[in-house]
Chains A and B, each alone.
Chain A
Amino acid sequence: MKGSTEAPEIADRLATRAADRARPRTRLPAWVGRPGTRGWVWLLSVLCLGLTGVLFAVTGSAIAQTRDGLDVIGRDEGPKVVATADLYFALSDMDAQMANVLLMGSDHSLGDGRDAALVRYEQRRSDATDALLHAAQLAEGDATDEENVRAVIEDMSRYENLVAQARLLSDEAGLPAGSQPEEVVRLYRRAGELMRRDLLPKAYNLTLDSGATVRSTYQENSSAASVRMALVAGAATALLAALLALQYFLRTRFRRRYNIPLAAATAGVLVLGLGAIGMLEQQAVLLRTAKADGLDSVLALSRARAISTGMNADQSRWLMDPGRADIYEQNFLEDAQMVLFLVPDDDGVPGDLEEYTAEVAEAVPDHTAYPGRLLGLLGQEIHAGGVEGREQAQRRALRDYSAYLHADQRMRGRAEEEGAGAAIDARMAGEESVADHFDRYERSLVQLTALHTNTFETAVADARAGLRGWDAILPGACLGFAALVVLGVRPRLAEYR
């Protein structure tokens, strides 16, 4: 009985140890603690099934996010941004048409005629309202942008008020082209200044801002795309490793050369993984095309068209208001340089309109032979590559722009030599008139823009088509992998029953 005093403690300790050993046994299968062959098969099979689930989830969410990104740029924001870009053009053209109406005075049949100009003015006003609606939708929730849209609406009604007064006075005076009463010129000068100093800058900034929205959406989407691709690659690699491990284990332990279902699953995962990554890569490429080659170019060319319309209005103002002709000519040149800025190889950038016109002629008909650089909204869109017919359209746009500038020089020349009447004739009437050349130039710009719009739409449609089918392929394939894994290990586990 010597050790009897210690006996209860020893008994306690032994009991605790026994309990410790017993506890896991009651909760988990035996192979978890110290897995034997059967345990390893179970462990690896469960791992394969789990990783199949992970691959399914990761790839599925990558596809869903890719589709969201595509919808934002291809369906929601992108087209709206293009619509806001029309705002600047619509406002600018409203002003150009009104300048023509007032310039014609009572000579209603000059050029396309006063009625046509008024119809076009109304059309542009309704375009501007539509574009403002899109801009308002894009601006929603952003106080700064909303305020900007509101300011444009207010300025627009102030502008309309001023031109309505000018038109009324012009109608009452009933004077012929180019001889408007002082008061009409003064009112239109105020309207034109409001347009140029307040309205157009705000409208332009709105389109820039919506362009920025698309850019940041695209940026977020494309950096997320590389993360998504890496995740899919990681999940597929992990599953492949697990499948190979299982195959290897079965081979060494069961002395079977191949497990056909597992080999099939491995091959399937390899194909699916590569296919998914290829598809995501392709989506990124298509989205980049849609944005850089489509949307960006459409926006730049829309701005070029809008600014060109402002140049057209400045020609009418130049004729109507000789007191400020210098300013209108300067504005014309500055706008022209926004559209196309030429950097001759000797760096002697043309300083006046005449030199500029001559320099532009150098880049026509073959801009590739021009020994300098082409910059500006249109200039930067002139480059090789792209869809068939694009380079031809670029050449045509440059050629028509140059012809328009030449017609402008002729008009200014006639104003100097033969007076305002002859210049207005050169501006408005006949086949070689400024108006006619402008129409041609505008048409080529619109055609070039249409090619980029087409690139955008094709890329978005291709991307959408590329995603189609994956909704069925992915769950089908993953279920198949799981089934193959089960099929592969079931007979081996049965050997242990």
Chain B
Amino acid sequence: MGLRRLLTAAAAALVLAASGSCTEAVGRPASITDAERLRIGVKTDQPGLALRADDGTFAGFDVDVAHYIADELGVERAEVDFTGVSPQEREQVLVRGEVDLVLATYSITPLRKTVVAFGGPYYVAHQDILLRAGDTSVAGPADLEGKVLCQGADSDSADRIIGERGIAAESVERPTYGDCIDLLAAGEVDAVSTDDLVLAGYLDTAPSSFNLVNAAFTNEKYGVGIARQDVAGCEAVNRAITRMYQDGTAAWLLRKWFGDSGLDINTSVPQFEGCV
């Protein structure tokens, strides 16, 4: 009977209307707050921050911070996968969704913020200067006049001293900062200038060979890179970092990895960047 069909149709329309609004794309959760596994991009060759061992495991400050954040997000340690990311591919891997988070000495800049979002910073590093042990001729960037500096490829640390500050130093470029440290040890360059945590990490590999100046002259906000649309995830990362500083884990981790370097460590929570 037509009437019954009419009623059935009306009921079907109601059900459709109700279910249509609830349907979501199937696949990975829209926010890392719902994730059960996390894929985190870190560096592979930075002693003290993230170094890949021969067995494929990662160790360093960035790795420990990543574990803490994952734990706060309710992801078990065994469910965290680390992937090595190079500085050039940090944005792409987030945009393409190949990793969920990036903790890889990833400085927050307004330009990068147009592509990805940043939780944190979890630490504000400063550009600093590393010398050979026994060299006391440099107390700040101004004293680098006439010296030979080494900078890694894709870095502008020496250019910032020479170009922006107008200090007449000479600059040598090598593929990585590890190579620069070798040159410094061999006496072929006078100083290496980059983020203090990076320098402290190298210093720790050969404490008697080098000397950290402690002349913080820029602020490098190390952020937790995250997909731009995952605002809730970014806010959850900020809460995790807040707790990491409140419960003393941050201070402990900073001392664990950089405590012997003589670096002036700030154990107070950094000013966050904001998620939107």
Contact = CB atoms under 8 A, between A and B. Distances in A.
A249 interface: yes
A318 interface: no
Contacts of B111: 343, 349, 375
A352 B276 CA distance: 27
A319 B214 CA distance: 23
Interface SS majority for chain A: helix
A157 interface: no
Nearest to A47: B7
Contacts of A341: 110
Interface of A: 40, 144, 147-148, 151, 197-198, 200-202, 204-205, 208-209, 211-212, 215-216, 219, 226-227, 230-231, 233-235, 237-238, 241-242, 244-245, 248-249, 296, 303, 326-327, 330-331, 334, 337, 341, 343, 349, 351-352, 375-376
Nearest to B21: A230
Nearest to A150: B246
Given A205-B272, A248-B6, 15 more contacts: A148-B246, A197-B266, A201-B270, A205-B242, A209-B239, A219-B232, A230-B21, A234-B17, A234-B18, A237-B10, A238-B14, A241-B7, A326-B217, A334-B219, A376-B110
A205 B114 CA distance: 21
Interface of B: 2-3, 6-7, 9-11, 13-14, 17-18, 20-22, 110-111, 113-114, 140-141, 160, 163-165, 216-219, 231-232, 235, 238-239, 242-243, 246, 266, 268-272, 274-276
Nearest to B19: A230
Interface SS majority for chain B: helix
A351 B163 contact: yes
Contacts of B164: 351-352
A197 B268 contact: yes
B110 A200 contact: no
Looking at A197, A227, A233, A349, the one whose CB has the most chain B CB atoms below 10 A away is: A197
A331 B219 CA distance: 8
A201 B10 contact: no
B274 A211 contact: yes
A244 B14 CA distance: 16
Contacts of B13: 234, 237-238, 241
Q: Which 9 A-B residue pairings sit nearest by Cβ, starting from the closest?
A: A241-B10, A201-B271, A341-B110, A351-B164, A212-B235, A234-B14, A234-B17, A375-B110, A198-B268
Contacts of B17: 230-231, 233-234, 237
A330 B217 contact: yes
A310 to B, nearest CB: 10
B21 A241 contact: no
B113 A375 contact: yes
Contacts of A233: 17
B85 to A, nearest CB: 23
A96 to B, nearest CB: 17
Nearest to B156: A351
B263 to A, nearest CB: 15
A230 B163 CA distance: 61
A440 B218 CA distance: 30
Contact of A249 (B3, B9, B18, B232): B3
B3 A205 contact: no
A69 B90 CA distance: 39
Contacts of A151: 246
Nearest to B164: A351
A198 B270 CA distance: 8
B7 A208 contact: no
A204 B271 contact: yes
B219 to A, nearest CB: 6
Nearest to A373: B114
Nearest to B113: A375
